[in-house]
Structure 1
Amino acid sequence: MQRILPRKEPSTEPGAVHLSTRRALGFKLAAPAKTLDAFVGWMDAAGEPTIRHDLATAWVAQFSRGTVLERLNYVKQFAEHVAWFDPATEVPVLDGRPYGSHRPRPLIFTSEQIDVLLAAAGRLTPRVRAASWQTLLGLLAVTGLRISEARNLNDDDVTPDEDDGGWVRVTDTKFGKSRLVPLHATTMTAIRKYQRLRDATFPAPRTTAVFVARRGTRIARSTATNTFREIRALAGMAGSQTEPAARLHDFRHSFATNTLIGHIRSGGDVDEMMPVLSAWLGHVSPDSTYWYLSNTPELAAALADRLPVSGGDDE
């Protein structure tokens, strides 16, 4: 196995990029670096080129029970990063349960994938349902709203401004915080076009909601889940052995990650951007926003262009 965590010379290998990227996002990684170096050295000695569940659990089994959770969690985070580059990678679990804080690996949508999902939504019937979901998914893509926040929007929560753009007022959020989210003029145009179709279809409104289901009622949580499953199946994004299925929450992960990539590429500072992104997403603090940032090859490349990558000692 190729050495992943060299000690002296700069490197762009997965381990070094993984650690450098997480440091750039504000994480302190002295202990993880030592753990990963030891794990990769053990894999080298065993002649194993790919991270697997059985290898990770066998390696941590040699340590005291009190450190197993911590060590396996470091390997798990590293494996989630490597999986972007090597689909054969297995993210470690033990007894059927992931160690440490776990989430499904999100899909970070490209603009092409978003277009495919919007086109699939346009194939729904009846026409008003297709328009509702095309506009809803488009709004999620450009604002990072939670699906619950978008479902709960009422017409008077969307207001225009003097520059042809507008604002979305998000109230009663997950953490009880309210916020205003700006909308580009093109987004406002799309919403207004959809509202005209919706109102023509349902001249006697049954709800004040912006987005409605096929019968003109507010989209229910269960309806949203089932409809998106239909959309992702039409889009060919229902998942496979090597690729996770698209989820509604992936729009939020994608917005956060792609926004940060754009900011870095434009020369912006990560530390200055995090509070802004956190406020936009409605998080209590930037600590919550870090959880949304997936270490994609694009994010790693953007940071690599800005940071010296060194596999040296982390102390």
Structure 2
Amino acid sequence: MSTFNEHLNEYLTMRRALGYDLGKLEHLAGQFCTWLAATGKQTFTTADAIEWARQPARADPRWWGMRLGAVRTFAKYLDAIGVDVQVPPAGILPAGPRRAAPFLYSQADLDALLHACDQVFTRPLPAATLRTTIGLLAATGLRIGEALRLTTDDINTEAGALLIRASKRKDRLVPVHPSTVEALFAYRDLPARVAARPAAGGPLLVSTRGTGYQRSTIEAHFARLATAAGLRPRGAARPRLHDLRHTFATAHKIGRVASTATPGSIRRVA
């Protein structure tokens, strides 16, 4: 008989093959599986799930809700594959922390951000790197961490795709427009980037030292660009780098090409 941990690993592998991260779910559901093993339970009920979720006793109830939500997600998978468990109903405990409201960028917003790169950064390479990063995220919907891990070897010209490498899930290919590939190669061959002497096989997006960027640094640079571009909060939504991914997904869902001018805009790195 498969253990709950084995079922959890199967579920994570399946979902990560589709591009999901699931780090928080892995952590919480993994703790639940450990608790089940420690208490000798071969199955679990809604009462069991609530008992575990409401730990520690003095924690914020929203934390309990987040823990129960992870169990509920896992339980739905177990139920679907025929494992005899109860799926906790939704709404038993308070929901977890609210997600930040997404800031959806218009094409004018994107153009303003790209234009601000040369205003905020006087050196050619930082300006080009930020412009390329913004354009890449807007044109592909990649996560910032995925973009920062890209190497020049990950640009597959034959397939017209980017190889996205991940440490805890399977690598995947993301199709890209030919003009995006052209723009990335233009950035790769930019004299200022070549002069930085990046390591062969190292990150595509580099600093003036030829090394890759930390996510926190890129996000801080983006905040400066958003201010320079005149972007202001819209209600609860504030301009964030991650919202380029939300913008891409939203544009895709409503049936239009996301950021149609962006691949060409990235090409201006040279």
Q: What's the TM-score once normalised by structure 2's chain length? A: 0.55
Tell me the equivalent position of 1:222: 216
Tell me the equivalent position of 2:166: 172
Q: In structure 2, what residue type is equivalent to 1:211?
A: L
For this pair of structures, how many residues does the alignment match? Answer: 164
Structure 1 unmatched ranges of 5 or more: 1-68, 70-97, 265-315
1:121, distance to aligned residue in structure 2 (A):
2.0
1:200, distance to aligned residue in structure 2 (A):
5.4
Post-superposition CA distance 1:69-111 (Å, at most 9, x none): 9xxxxxxxxxxxxxxxxxxxxxxxxxxxx95451110111112
Tell me, yes or no, if structure 1 residue 252 matches structure 2 residue 245: yes
Structure 2 unmatched ranges of 5 or more: 1-64, 66-93, 258-270
Mapping of residues 75-114 of structure 1, within 5 Å: 100-114=96-110
Q: Any idea what SS the aligned residue of 2:254 has?
A: helix
Tell me the equivalent position of 1:122: 118
1:214, distance to aligned residue in structure 2 (A):
2.9
Q: 1:155 to 1:252 in 2, by over 3 A?
A: same
1:176, distance to aligned residue in structure 2 (A):
1.6
1-structure distance, mates of 2:211, 2:228? 24
1:257, distance to aligned residue in structure 2 (A):
0.9
Identical amino acids, percent of aligned pairs: 36
Q: In structure 1, what residue type is equivalent to 2:240?
A: R
Q: 1:209 to 1:234 in 2, by over 3 A?
A: same
2-structure distance, mates of 1:246, 1:180? 28
* Root-mean-square deviation over aligned CA pairs: 2.7
1-structure distance, mates of 2:95, 2:218? 30
Mapping of residues 95-244 of structure 1, within 5 Å: 100-123=96-119, 124-161=121-158, 166-172=160-166, 176-197=169-190, 201-202=194-195, 204-206=197-199, 208-239=202-233, 242=235, 244=237
1:248, distance to aligned residue in structure 2 (A):
0.9
1:136·1:211 contact (CA, 8 Å) conserved in 2?
yes
Tell me the equivalent position of 1:90: none
